[in-house]
Amino acid sequence: MQISKKELLQKANAASKDTLMETLNIEIVDFTEDTLTARMPVTPKVHQPDGVLHGGATAALAESVGSFASHIFTNTDEFFVRGLEITANHLKSVKEGYVYAKASFLHRGRTTQLLDIRVIDGEDNLVSICRLSTITLPKKK
């Protein structure tokens, strides 16, 4: 029995219950063989004091979608994934609406992965460019 894309997205989002992803209302909205896309609403909850999207919230979105991408493309019965480093270049301010983060693999090794994460607003304007490196480690038996 093959699971539908809709069912996979529901399962992925259910895994975020009681996490930072739920706190920030981050939702996985799409995936392909090589990418994962999530969105986050831009509300006062994720603003900095002057009323625009906080860079830390953007970085949390990017790390969430990138780590989740590494996680779902890994055999989690035998391995776990951890983030190693994230960088973020913030290019545009956003006051409201949604931002979308699309994680694409630049390198998908057995031990380390490198992801490019592009954050855009609802009008396809580039908001931030992020890079995330993750590591896959064997679970102790």
Does residue 76 or residue 111 have the better pLDDT?
A: 111
Residue holding tokens 């009681």?
18
Quick one: average pLDDT of 96-115? Answer: 95
At 2 the pLDDT is 65
Residue 129, token pair as written in the block = 């460019």
- The gap from C-alpha 1 to its chain's centroid, in whole angstroms, comes to 28
Q: Does residue 123 have an active-site annotation?
A: no
Average pLDDT, the chain: 93
Domain span at 68: 5-138
Q: For the whole model, what pTM was predicted?
A: 0.92
Strands (E), 71-139: 79-90, 97-108, 112-121, 126-138
Single out the residue of 2, 77, 72 nearest to residue 31, CA to CA.
72
Q: What φ, ψ does residue 39 adopt, rounded to 5°?
A: -130, 155
Residue 49, token pair as written in the block = 């004091």
- For residue 35, pLDDT over 70 is answered with yes
For residue 34, the domain's CATH number is: 3.10.129.10
Q: What is the pLDDT of residues 38-94, one digit of tens each?
A: 999 999 999 999 999 999 999 999 999 999 899 877 877 888 899 999 999 999 999
> CA angle, corner 24, sides to 18 and 25, nearest 5?
80
The count of structural domains within the chain is 1
Query: Choosing from 33, 63, 85, 96, which is the catalytic residue?
Result: 63
Single out the residue of 76, 75, 40 nearest to residue 60, CA to CA.
40
